[in-house]
C-alpha cells in the first residue's frame, strides 16, 4: 500500500462497483448516509440519583447520490430501469464505494446491501452550451457495512 502512517485518502480516487462490476465515468459520490435511532433510558439508581443511558435503537435504511457522465453504459441504465419499473427481484444489487490509495489499490470499502435506484435526474441541456451531460442517481440501500 502506498499510504504511509498519517496519510489521508484523497477524495478524487474512488470507484463504484455494482455486483462486483466497476462502473465507469463516475464523477461524484455524495450524501452517503446510514443512521440508527437512539434510545434514551432514564432510571433512578439505588441511592436515588437519576441515571441517563443511551442505547442503540433500530437501524434505518441509507442512501447516497452518484453523479456520472451520461454515457452509453447499458448495464447502469438497465439497473435504473429495473428499479424504476419495480422489478425488485432484479433491481436489488450489492454496491460498493471503494476509496483507493495513490496506486489505485482499494483501501476502504462502503458495502451497500440490497441497493437500488430511487431517483434519476439529468443535467439541463441548452443550445450553444459546451458542457458534459450528467445523470444524478439516488441509490437507496438496506444495510451499510464498512470495511
Q: For residues 84 and 4, what is the distance between their CA atoms, to the nearest angstrom?
A: 44
CATH of 14-146, one of 3.30.9.10, 3.30.565.10, 1.10.3720.10, 2.30.110.20: 2.30.110.20
pLDDT of residue 5: 79
pLDDT of residue 137: 93
pLDDT of residue 120: 92
Low-confidence ranges of the chain (pLDDT < 50): none
pLDDT of residue 77: 85
Q: What is the pTM of this model?
A: 0.82
* Domain boundaries, given as residue ranges, for the chain: 14-146
Q: For residues 28 and 26, what is the distance between their CA atoms, to the nearest angstrom?
A: 6
**Residue percentage of the chain with pLDDT more than 70:** 96
pLDDT of residue 50: 95
Say which residues have a Cβ less than 8 Å from residue 54's Cβ, sequence separation at least 6.
Answer: 38, 39, 40, 41
Amino acid at each position: 500500500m502506498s499510504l504511509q502512517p498519517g496519510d489521508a485518502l484523497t477524495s478524487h480516487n474512488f470507484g463504484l462497483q455494482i455486483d462486483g462490476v466497476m462502473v465507469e465515468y463516475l464523477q461524484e459520490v455524495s450524501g452517503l448516509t446510514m443512521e440508527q435511532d437512539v434510545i434514551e433510558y432514564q432510571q433512578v439508581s439505588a441511592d436515588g440519583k437519576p441515571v441517563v443511558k443511551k442505547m442503540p435503537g433500530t437501524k434505518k435504511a441509507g442512501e447516497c447520490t452518484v453523479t456520472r457522465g451520461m454515457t452509453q453504459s447499458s448495464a447502469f441504465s438497465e439497473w435504473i430501469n429495473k428499479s424504476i419499473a419495480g422489478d425488485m427481484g432484479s433491481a436489488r444489487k450489492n454496491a460498493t464505494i471503494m476509496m483507493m490509495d495513490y496506486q489505485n489499490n482499494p483501501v476502504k470499502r462502503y458495502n451497500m446491501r440490497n441497493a437500488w435506484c430511487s431517483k434519476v435526474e439529468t443535467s439541463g441541456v441548452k443550445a450553444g452550451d459546451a458542457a458534459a451531460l450528467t445523470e444524478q442517481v439516488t441509490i437507496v440501500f438496506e444495510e451499510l457495512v464498512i470495511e
